[in-house]
Copies of this chain bind each other. A is one copy, B any other.
Amino acid sequence: MADVARLAGVSVTTVSHVINGTRPASERTRERVLEAIERTGYRPNTLARALARGGTQSLGLAISGLSNPYFSEVVSAIEGAASRAGHTLLLGDTREDPEQELRIVRALAERQVDGMLLAPTAGALEHALPYLESQGIPTVLLDRFVDADFDQVGSDNEQPTARLVEHLIDRGHRRIGMAIGIRGLSTTDERVRGYKLALERGGLGFDPALLAEGASERDRARAAMDALLDLDDPPTAMVSGNNFMTIGVLRAFADRGLRVPDDMALVAFDDFEWADLFAPRLTVIRQPTAELGERAVALLLSRLEDPERPPRRERLEATFVHRDSCGCTGRSPAPQIRAQPSEHDDVTA
């Protein structure tokens, strides 16, 4: 910037002001400065600016499993919203590990992000969250809810899962298993609660033996599913707690040559983009990923504007998408479907 000032024959003050439009300048000097900028190939140093101004125009994003299609859709939406608001994203992967999460959050905070978007791990309450709170960093929690005073966004889990299970019950299933993600995450807990709720409503009673603990790892889910199938009284239908679990469960089925829905019914939380193109066409709950990302950013921006505003929680509605993996297709009448927004799917809110 000093170069520019020299070339334009003005002070750095003036250069700074014409760059930022923070103070009027004569047309003449404006032009000279602009030209000097052009000729020197001047590249502003955002760091120095941030240091001087306090505020980096950047947001931290700490999340687990970038390669998880659900999250990557959310990330994509977040990137879009952040970028539209003139913010840059700093990215970190928590790997679902509270220590790693703290490291990431620390690193991002030390880089002076203006705010933080975090999909908290199961141990966040003991590590990352206290840190964020003590440092007074504007934060919004994503996907998983936590019992703490933070802004939070996520989908509704309990009722949609219950709906999934009830659908299986309606189809006559009595032994319904569930493959679940990481214990301690609200997403997991709430979905399990929905599962139990539906069983209860259906007068079925909850059998802990029918829970396949997948810990959100495909291979663990596969192994756990395998164990379920070895039961004396194995399930005739499964509900999967998230897309990783779905993959694991299906692998376990494939291992034994079980076919969906003929040998085994399956419904799942989390949709896949291609899900209506391949068989079995999965009956799922679809989360509003784009909206989720956008709301999260919106919440964060609003908090940046008013740090004192009381924390807000937003539950977004998830959609029931009726396809074939539940075993309904053609053979028996599909239950209460209300709309068909997608071309090949039956979709209901």
Contact = CB atoms under 8 A, between A and B. Distances in A.
Contact of A41 (B75, B134, B277): B134
A183 B58 CA distance: 34
A112 B112 CA distance: 14
A44 B109 CA distance: 9
Interface in A73-110: 73, 75-76, 79-80, 83, 88-93, 104, 106-110
A251 interface: yes
Interface in A35-77: 41, 43-48, 50-51, 56, 58, 61, 65-67, 69, 72-73, 75-76
Contacts of A344: 254
Contacts of A111: 46-47, 58, 88
A110 B43 contact: yes
Nearest to A277: B250
A65 B108 CA distance: 24
A288 interface: no
A118 to B, nearest CB: 15
Contacts of A279: 278-280
Given A135-B43, A280-B278, A88 B67 contact: no
A247 interface: yes
Contacts of A66: 72, 75-76, 79
Nearest to A278: B278
A56 B75 CA distance: 24
A44 B58 CA distance: 17
Interface string A264-290: 000000001110111110000000000
B41 A51 contact: no
A96 to B, nearest CB: 13
A104 B79 CA distance: 11
A4 to B, nearest CB: 15
Contact of A47 (B47, B89, B247, B274): B47
A37 to B, nearest CB: 13
B43 A109 contact: yes
Contacts of A110: 43-46
Nearest to A247: B274
A254 B343 CA distance: 10
A48 B53 CA distance: 12
The 5 closest A-B pairs by CB, nearest first: A278-B278, A72-B72, A66-B76, A67-B76, A279-B279
27 contacts: A41-B134, A41-B135, A46-B110, A46-B111, A47-B47, A47-B56, A58-B111, A66-B72, A66-B76, A67-B72, A69-B69, A72-B75, A79-B92, A79-B93, A83-B92, A88-B90, A88-B91, A88-B107, A88-B111, A90-B90, A90-B91, A91-B91, A247-B274, A247-B277, A250-B274, A254-B344, A255-B343
